[in-house]
Structure 1
């Protein structure tokens, strides 16, 4: 079954919600996402509608892997971060960059190449940005998520040495990056 990798459209908020809730129900969600299933499930429709609208903005793009039957097998979100602004940690951004978040592929589609294709779309979009022109693409991965770390290494990401404590489990999130080719 061939999946199409494409950006989310604003009117697809119900599918955005369904896939996000599926990702938060995944057994590794506690080390993969900062959100919880309980919190996300309680959000009103307006939250999901705004999220879908924002997924196609000039500085944000959400890509999905859509099957021939219209179901979504996975997604990735890439956010452009502008030099001089503050990042999610309150640190000043020294050089424009893109930040990959929200990576999820349904278990039955893992290992099929969909994650590689989603990342290819996200990276192509980030590198094609003219404003801001990004110098690197980064992501954060929990130290207790070896499967994800392994995939990111295989995709060309390298550890930067920056770490953050984003969850209350005491574990660190490790920053990985790919510099502009």
Structure 2
């Protein structure tokens, strides 16, 4: 799937030449007041990254990549309202936190919707695009991790059909806190 429409938005995979906009959206996300619960890096860390990092990110998760795909929601004026990235994880490997991966799955990361676009179903449209992409790659499920205190995000994920799996992992930036795994499964 390359593009779809949802209301006033076009949901599409990023392209390698989108890297300046990938960088801009990520830095805006890292400035968000809830970013300390939603992202594993700070604004200062993101802003310090060289342009080559953003170019590699846009190439590695753009159209044509089979291991990761970043989706954006474009408004009619061409601005970006939000984004998600789906990483494919293979059974027998370990995820980014060192936990074993038990099945072929998509892992949603980097979820962000600009404040003025929240509450209108856009997050579900972005998740639907990511889930469809993962299903096309024979994923058995899609998962994501959400901070224990990020109730707004948890509500949005529940509305999109995700449910807590019962897996809880320490929050990378502060082991005294945790993240809850949410999953979306489909019949085989």
SS across alignment from 1:172: strand
SS across alignment from 2:173: coil
- Report deviation, 1:6: 0.3
Does residue 79 of structure 1 match 2:84?
no
Following the alignment from structure 2 to structure 1, what is the Cα–Cα distance between the partners of residues 74 and 156?
21
Structure 1 segments unaligned to the other structure (5+ residues): none
Structure with greater strand share of residues = 2
SS across alignment from 1:151: helix
Alignment of 1:1-20 (within 5 A): 2-20=8-26
- Report deviation, 1:169: 6.7
Q: Deviations over 1:61-116 (max 9, x none)?
A: 10000112211000000011011111112122111111000000000000122111
User: RMSD of the alignment, in Å?
Assistant: 1.2
Following the alignment from structure 2 to structure 1, what is the Cα–Cα distance between the partners of residues 121 and 101?
32
**Runs of 4+ off more than 6 Å:** none
Normalising by structure 2, we get a TM-score of 0.91
What corresponds to 1:120 in structure 2? 128
1:137–1:180 contact (8 Å) kept in structure 2:
no
Does residue 104 of structure 1 match 2:112?
yes
Normalising by structure 1, we get a TM-score of 0.95
